[in-house]
Amino acid sequence: MRGRGEKAVFITAYDYPMARFADAAGVDMVLVGDSVANTTLGYRSTTCVDMEDMVRHSGAVTRAVERAFVIGDMPFMSYQQSDEAAVANAGRFVVAGCDAVKCEGGRRVAPRVRAMVDAGMVVMGHIGLTPQSLAQLGGYRVQGRTDDQVGSLREDIVALEEAGAQMVLLEAMPPEAGRLLRDSVDVPVYGIGAGPHVDGQLLILHDVIGMQDPAILRRPSFVKRYADVGAVVVEALRQYGADVRSGAFPAEERWYKGRE
């Protein structure tokens, strides 16, 4: 899509129903993100999920999607230990039906990216704010605000491209940093909170539709919420509860008929 000048629509999904909705809406790419930890499983950190979690959710998504390109997010410690571990775990995502895998980091993970690419995988890199490394980054902080940070990120994105990464995700940085990094490589570069100058935009589904629990993770300032599905669900369940307590449900038209 980069060559055609079209912006890719990129969203997360973690289960069969939401993946069906995303595919029906015409999104181009679906990320089975390790953010399932925050959105679905109630953890405060993405490092709490493992390969079993990610493969299970990836399978649910790929069974639902008929058209979109699906990327499996490699969880913490699934690729850092060795090239062999990275290849084996990436292969599990492919077996689960994913078209590609994503891993966090720049120069330090370039050897892992090369190993996975050499094994036949399609790999997306991820630099900027990398949630698996929050302790090293000092928490959820915007990246690429200084010349030194931008220079380091540029070295990262070039290293990923040279290692064979077919695409890169930028997270949480000013638009000018996103533009510079995007223009530093030939592969497609997508963004989540990285400004308008990238080749497509990723958002967390639960942020977009109003289903994120702010007690687990607050909605970032760059997110636009397009619906308040959480409020709709609560109201529907309140109405159901009221009908049950009053005896209005089940009404006679909801009963199975006995023998005539």
Assess whether 171 carries a catalytic annotation.
yes
* 3-class secondary-structure state, position 103: strand
> Residue 171: which H helix or E strand, with range?
strand 167-171
- Mark 34-70 as b/e (b = at least 16 C-beta within 10 Å): bbbbbbbeebebbbbbebebbbebbbbbbebbeebbb
Domains and CATH numbers, the chain: 8-228 (3.20.20.60)
Per-residue model confidence (pLDDT) at position 216 = 76
**Helices 175-182 and 147-163 meet at what angle, rounded to 10?**
30
Rg (alpha carbons) of the chain, rounded to whole number: 21
C-alpha to C-alpha distance for 138 and 247, rounded to whole angstroms: 54
Q: Name the nearest CA neighbour of 42 among 190, 186, 215, 164.
A: 215
| Per-residue pLDDT, 3 | 67
State the pTM of this model. Answer: 0.95
Q: Which helix (H) or strand (E) holds 87?
A: helix 83-95
**Cβ-Cβ contacts under 8 Å for 37 (sequence gap 6 or more):** 43, 45, 46, 47, 48, 49, 53
Average pLDDT per 10 consecutive residues for the chain, totaling 260 residues: 84 99 99 97 96 99 99 98 98 99 98 99 98 79 96 99 99 98 98 98 97 82 96 98 99 91
CA-based nearest residue to 55, from 18, 12, 92: 92
The string over 118-151, giving b where at least 16 C-beta atoms fall within 10 Å of a residue's C-beta and e elsewhere, is ebebbbbbbbbbbbbeeeeeeeeebbbeeeeebe
- Which tokens go with 66? 């008929």
Instruction: State the catalytic residue, choosing from 6, 162, 171, 253.
Output: 171
